[in-house]
Chains A and B, each alone.
Chain A
Amino acid sequence: MIGKGIPKGFIITLKNFFRTPVTVQYPDRKVSLFEYAKIHKKNIFKLFFSQPMLSIKISLGLISVPSSVEQSQRFRGNEFTFFEERCTVCASCAKYCPLGIIEIVSVPGGFDAQEGESYKLEVFDIDIGRCMFCGLCVEACPYDALHMGTKFEKSTYVRDNLIITKEKLAESEKSPSSFYRPQFEKKKFDPFKDNIDDHYKAGRHEKPEYKDLKKKWVDDR
């Protein structure tokens, strides 16, 4: 019964034994001395002579550095990015969510420089404990106020902490993913290195110049 097929199979498994592993160690990975020096931008000899104990520990595989998984730019992570200044409280996001987990409460009394009176956002809660990160809310937002985030390490011990409120959204780091936001891809914005602090930069149009605004709103009227 045993013929050519089985040795052939063993040759292939042997070949695979010597290929570089595809597994990514997460959240920490062991480093070699050479890599450690490279990460910390040090000369390997200097490192060895200045910190001999550390170098020995690294060589023994006792030291690990944080490592991350390579993500694509469009990654739909579980931390939303929200620019309150851009939001008009239209509640399209809440209507479009298949699970109905976005809670929005608006009150009259806001003020917009161009439009006059407007609504003010009072409550904006997303229950990410039930969210499935489909991104439909982001797709529905017509003013580019809500974006998917790229971070995903948001586990907590208490379920209530999973409800992200307006305040939490305002504090969180603003590194939106380019899911349904082609403008970020066009601008070559890298969410893993950069942040967007200015809400003007998140829109799909450039910030208008003063003279254009004046032409549109004053001269042409």
Chain B
Amino acid sequence: MSIETRPVTVNLGPQHPSTHGVFRMRVTFDGEEIVDVEPVFGYLHRGSEKLAEERTYSQIVTLTDRMDYVSSMLNNQAYILAVEKLCNIVPSPRGVWLRMIASELQRIASHFVATGFLLQDLGALGTPLIYCMRERENILDLFEMLCGARITNSYLRPGGVFMDAPEVFWPALDRSLGDIEKSIDEIEEYLSGNEIIFSRTKGTAVLSSESLVNASITGPMLRASGVDWDLRHRNPYDYYSDITFKRILHTASDNYARYWVRVQEMRESLKIISQCIKNIEPGPVRPSFDDVPRLVRPEPGDSYAAIEGSKGELGFYLVSDGGISPYRMHVRAPSLINLTLLREMLVGELFGDLFVIFGSVDLNMGEVDR
């Protein structure tokens, strides 16, 4: 008599604590090994792109906050750049420096979340996640000083930001930069040399740089495979051309490389922020209402602006028909596009690594479904 084994299909999610939101995977296992994955998403669809069609250009900023809710400032920035391109708005220098500071802070916060949750998925229950969240909390405090909200910021406006930073912000920013630097050191010291992390993440879910480029994957995932593609350097928006920073590259293209790239990028963001603080000069933070009214009415046409978001190339495509609200808005959401190689990453790996691999993509369901 022989014992028959056959593959089992399991539904993971949508209500699963490790799926970073509401994401469902139909995974087929052969014993411990994954043979097939079918991602199912759309559970968090709110129709933001459709809602944008009946709101004015200044009101849509509030919708962009809610797409990738761990990096709202970056979403704001991408959207505002698209509007500025569409309406030919010349932004105020101080506003641009302020929004660069805000978006780099947001990038650090987002990478902290990504790192913390990756370690949580690895089984380091609680502790590293809490350390990362603690640092993120400092950054959110800074945002509260800037714009009065912690997550749904809506800080940016066409042409700059809505209000200058308060006096208490600058000393607090200086203090936080030191704190963040220290805590990145701490994370590196206790994680980057940790043998358990090495054995779990090194050599898992290796992707070739060709397949990454073919699937148009961007962000830390691409840079972890050695492709030097950073929009801040390739296609500088705002004042990134005046700023020097190192592009972080790794060649292994495995889970560890992705984690390492994120941690090193936080350091570079700190350097960018200190350069911004050096360069910032007094002046108005947004153009006067005579130049940029609250109700902008662009000429018919379209525009696409992309920034290097925390997860990859975040782009907004706007089509105007000459009215007060866009005819169509489309978001190039990096989280969604980075998911396209999920099957290639997972097939052949073990069940225990499933959520580690999933976490190393660093996706946000709010952005995947929009």
In the complex, which residues of chain B have a beta carbon less than 8 angstroms from the beta carbon of A96?
A: 58-59, 294
Instruction: Report the bound CA distance from A51 to B134 in whole Å.
Output: 40
Q: Which one, A11, A13, A16, A179, contacts B148 given CB within 8 A?
A: A179
A9 adjacent to B162 (CB under 8 Å): no
Chain B residues with CB under 8 A of A34: none
If over half of A's interface residues share one DSSP class (helix, strand or loop), that class is named, otherwise mixed; here it is loop
Q: Are B166 and A73 in contact (CB under 8 A)?
A: yes
In which size bucket is the chain A interface? 35 or more
The 0/1 profile, CB within 8 Å of A marked 1, for residues 134-160 of chain B is 100100010011111100101000000
B-facing residues in A71-102 (Cβ within 8 Å) = 71-76, 96, 98
A139/B162 contact (C-beta < 8 A), A13-B127, A74-B147 known? yes
> Is there an interface contact between B196 and A136, defined as CB atoms closer than 8 Å?
no
Interchain CB contact under 8 A, A1 and B199: yes
Residue A22 at the chain B interface, CB threshold 8 Å: yes
Least CB distance from A76 to B in Å reads 4
A1 CB contact (under 8 Å) in B168, B191, B195: B195
Number of A-B contacts (CB under 8 A): 85
Asked if residues B134 and A180 are in contact (CB atoms below 8 Å), the reply is no
Q: Given the complex, which residues of B lie within 8 Å of A16, measured CB to CB?
A: 131
B304 shortest CB reach to chain A, Å: 23
A204 to B113, CA, bound (A): 40
Minimum CB–CB distance for B241 against chain A, Å = 31
Instruction: Say whether A136 contacts B62, CB under 8 Å.
Output: yes
Contacting A at CB under 8 A, from B186-200, are 186, 189-191, 193-199
Give per-residue flags for A102-134: 1 if the beta carbon is below 8 A from chain B beta carbons, else 0: 000000000000000000000000000000111
Q: Verify if B55 is at the interface (C-beta below 8 Å from A).
A: yes
The verdict on A164 contacting chain B, using a C-beta distance below 8 Å, is no
Q: Do B194 and A5 touch (CB < 8 A)?
A: yes
Inter-chain contact B166/A185, CB cutoff 8 Å: yes
Q: Could you tell me if A136 and B190 are in contact, using CB atoms closer than 8 angstroms?
A: no
Judging by beta carbons under 8 Å apart, are A72 and B190 in contact?
A: no
- Any B CB within 8 A of the CB of A211: no
Interface residues of A in 45-76 (CB under 8 A from B): 71-76
- Which B residues between 155 and 196 are near A, CB-CB below 8 angstroms? 162-164, 166-168, 186, 189-191, 193-196
| Chain A residues close to B by CB (< 8 Å) | 1-6, 8-9, 11-13, 16, 22, 71-76, 96, 98, 132-136, 139-140, 148, 177-180, 182, 185
Q: List 28 A-B contacts (CB under 8 A).
A: A4-B193, A5-B193, A5-B194, A5-B195, A5-B196, A6-B196, A8-B193, A9-B191, A9-B194, A12-B189, A16-B131, A22-B134, A71-B144, A72-B145, A72-B166, A72-B168, A74-B147, A74-B148, A98-B55, A98-B59, A98-B63, A134-B62, A134-B152, A136-B58, A136-B154, A180-B163, A182-B163, A182-B164
Given contacts A9-B194, A74-B166, A136-B58, 5 further A-B contacts (CB under 8 A): A5-B196, A22-B134, A76-B148, A96-B58, A180-B163
